[in-house]
Structure 1
């Protein structure tokens, strides 16, 4: 029997993340990830980190809806979260959700985002969603590519749709019909 002439695939040294529903005890890490994104990124167009009561209410609303997943590592440490929220608070939008996905910096580029978003798509479908929409700052190529790899398609662009850090930001809208 001859050896296979194809190069051996590199074995992944990192275990895939465990994806699960968010739990109340995940709040400190999830809110820390969100707060850092508000402070330092163009991903969330919020100027200031909300008061802890508001942040906790946001988290608890996702727990109540069952609309947040977390990725955890081998020691069950939270690496990131993904959630979906109503696109708008009008009845006609009840089957369309807006997704959000944020990771700790150390978890980026390791497949955690793709695992989370893939699981969120399935989870949203199970919750009766018909469509997921991603609203992404146009310069966030990584997030746009992640969404495209998970089946989302660009459906629109709005120049200068948001303002943060003393500048205007363009918005890309991506959608996945479930």
Structure 2
């Protein structure tokens, strides 16, 4: 929880300047605390990577859907500090996240990549870790005066 201010700062940059998230307002520290608690209380991982003592990025899984039949499926999220991209941090986070998911009984992990044409690093990272493309949802988000697609990728952990 001590890293939540740094996490909030990283995410705020994505909210304000990118289409990597469909959020339009940056969550405050109280909301980040609520999210962290909900994720960890659900038995799902929330991980932080540090480089040279600074938060370089974070990754977590959240429930894919709330209905009980989906309880072994999770959605992953990874965000990196701008200075840490291209240094392998995303891969380390995703590997650790998948390992923790497997240990916690998660069977399927879904990645929802917003605006994949302008965010090609995320699909590439997931594909290198064995995720398969399973669909595209067209024009499902509107941000920065554009309609945006999401790419769905899936990895089985069994």
Q: TM-score, normalised by structure 1?
A: 0.82
Give the drift of 1:66: 4.8
Deviation of the 1:62 alpha carbon? 2.9
* Distance of aligned partners of 1:54 and 1:172 in 2 relative to their CA distance in 1, 3 Å threshold: same
Partner of 1:74: 52
Matches within 5 A, 1:24-173: 24-64=1-41, 65-75=43-53, 77-137=54-114, 138-139=116-117, 140-173=119-152
Q: Structure 1 residue 149: deviation in Å?
A: 0.6
Q: Which has the larger radius of gyration?
A: 1
Contact 2:4 2:29 in 1 (8 A): no
Q: CA deviation at 1:44?
A: 1.1
Classify the secondary structure of the residue corresponding to 2:59.
Answer: strand
Q: Secondary structure at the match of 2:137?
A: strand
SS in 1 for 2:78: strand
Where does the alignment leave 5 or more consecutive residues of structure 2 unmatched? Answer: none
- 2:90 & 2:135 partners in 1: Cα distance? 23
Give 1:82 deviation, angstroms: 0.5
Counterpart Cα distance in 1 of 2:155 and 2:70: 15
| 1:14 counterpart residue number | none
CA RMSD, 1 decimal: 1.3
- Number of residue-to-residue matches in the alignment: 154
Shift of 1:120: 0.5
2:113·2:151 contact (CA, 8 Å) conserved in 1? yes
Unpaired runs of at least 5, structure 1: 1-23
